[in-house]
Structure 1
């Protein structure tokens, strides 16, 4: 029999299998992962059981091991995430691996359990799209350095749905997978080293409703890079020649249960069970017996199987009565570890009429108040006659939160129709009702439990600090700009809009026509005429702003005191200034990092500026003015 240890490695799965002959007892391996100040997490691994938890991989060294020893390794990867760019993901690896393995002996299939720590910034980025859970798959490259030729392995993992916790701080994501058997040959005998290499994550995030979150967060692939300067050797082990003891027969069954489902009385169905000898000695099938309902019959030619051979047991179901029928097939053999095995057999006999099949419960999950979620509920007919549906309605104390609609009328045998059920919560809390389906030949309707919860959520909000400058082409002078923008960003469409507020500034203007070699200081104010609007797509932000530029005061210094020589409260551009800006080539804009936008604009003539109106227009109005703004998020 086989003993399994689960090994977890930076961002991907690689299990280890410890193969022992004549093992009669379960092996329980408890090991503790500790990282920084996190609480210890206990993992338990049992024979014929797989581990569960994220992204890592390592090779399992397994066959003919003399002893196992603890191995520990921490690796860091740089993984690109949507919206926020590269982030560091820390993965801790802990396992018990054999110090030596025997050449020529297959390791058997084995599993791996991994937990990786995702940084807080990644959680913020996912939250911008309303993501509350994450799932997907991962693959990792592992190299086994051998005396002959290095072995390259890609390990696949499934990442189960994991809730993204609220609040600050990093969070852990689990994954699990199974690695196919490995065999080391005579030329590999000596010393081997397991090294963990690259990692690829294929991730899906979902919102409260269970739907995939909006792009670019909803579905993305992250090709992670192992950070340099790390020792990625997980384990060094020895490969030794195998001993020469007797290797017994090893029975393997293709299934441990047979379910015929529903079969009409008077017909028959046949299913098969394959018996294989995975050992190195002949397997003797000493007894095959079928106990239980007489509706099942068995036939086979199984007797003695050479190593690697298989035979087939045929089970035939002849339903007669109405209802569920069961039996047990017992297989006795000379496998010292599995001398007697039982296989459960079941079927359901149906004499006549329709048979309605509906789910027991439909859970709409957590839904934001003011929104709704719709589910399709399948109504199937597993009977042998048509199913006539007379009425479908919702009952229960919370029936007002659920609405159903359908086109179901007559459902043919083996067919399915669908009821559309919508959940629209009107307050916080849990809601529960029942969907009733009345059909012919039934005293009571079929009932589907409807469950859901309402929640109030605030949309993500980010304000940006604005710093920059604008150069006036007519005079070649530059004025500093500062301010803020509080945008509304729709991640699904990329629409970007909000109030762009530019603080008052100053511009030096020459007034040599009036005063030789004298420069004046113009106070410049910006009056927004409409909300700024734009688009964020593929890391490029475009933004259009409209405003009047006002010059309420122009002063010169006489003996250290400012003296007003022009301007006024009514001094402003004749028409609003329209400024179109976008991210320059080679620059990228992110809601969490901000970025730079630049543009060129036309400044219309000014009016109502007193005696300096003409002079100000010569030094300020015209084409070719440039602007650059840096937007930094205020988190």
Structure 2
């Protein structure tokens, strides 16, 4: 009889560990920051026949995506629940003829989204069939399908770990049941732990328009010329996604240069946006992804036109990542700088190849100053 009790006790310990894995699986399933890996360790207490309450430690790993604004969905991926079963349980399960163990579980968490009523969620889980060694530890894995949850309300949103239950079955090598049969246990989270797996503020998306006057300069490295730049920079930002649409709209610039260091020349420069202009807001300013065509409507040597025209422009758009500098503030403006590469020119007439050699290449720069137009009125 004492031996029989010991075997059952050991088996219960192994089952309880698996049960905890399933419970934590659900917990992991329900929470974490957007595209953020989560690794959480918690302890649960589970009652078992003959051996009473048992304390189990389980590790949960998962990746979670949270929506950027109300109306989006909370999703889970990469969930893995690992439970290490101790040597004592392995030996006990072996004594009753068990060669493997498998089963199911039901775990629960509570979702609170803004001022909405708390929503309890139960998730069915599967404990994968796991071979039991005659002695030593072994690790079980639990998985489950987690539905996406729509978060309709703004405000603080939390996922809180709850209790769980499991039903596991040890089996012999031939797949038949042992004398113990299936085992069921209901487990509770031990006190003194933080039950919140995920907590974040879900804000309503707001849009804000910004409009700046632009002054500064651009340098064409190959040409060895620097041209004054004026114009505007307008965009509309999305506070929830920290993105914006819009960008620079520059006036025609006029560059003066000297070929070979002494032959005077001029070039008109027209920067035309090519497609949608986008960017990201940051804690201190923003980064704009500017995409544009550069046109040269007129190029002169010694005051005489030698090329250019309405079709003279870069053969493909150029791009520049323009970043605000230190001390920039959305309300008061500041500096905006970036570099860009110019593709070869096309459509510039008989001197297209030569003119292209004067401007194409990398290392070109923008050095701009932005001032809110409202401050200039």
> TM-score, structure 1 length as denominator?
0.27
> Which structure shows the bigger proportion of residues in helix conformation?
2
Q: Which has the higher contact order (CA 8 A, sep 6+)?
A: 2
Larger radius of gyration: 1
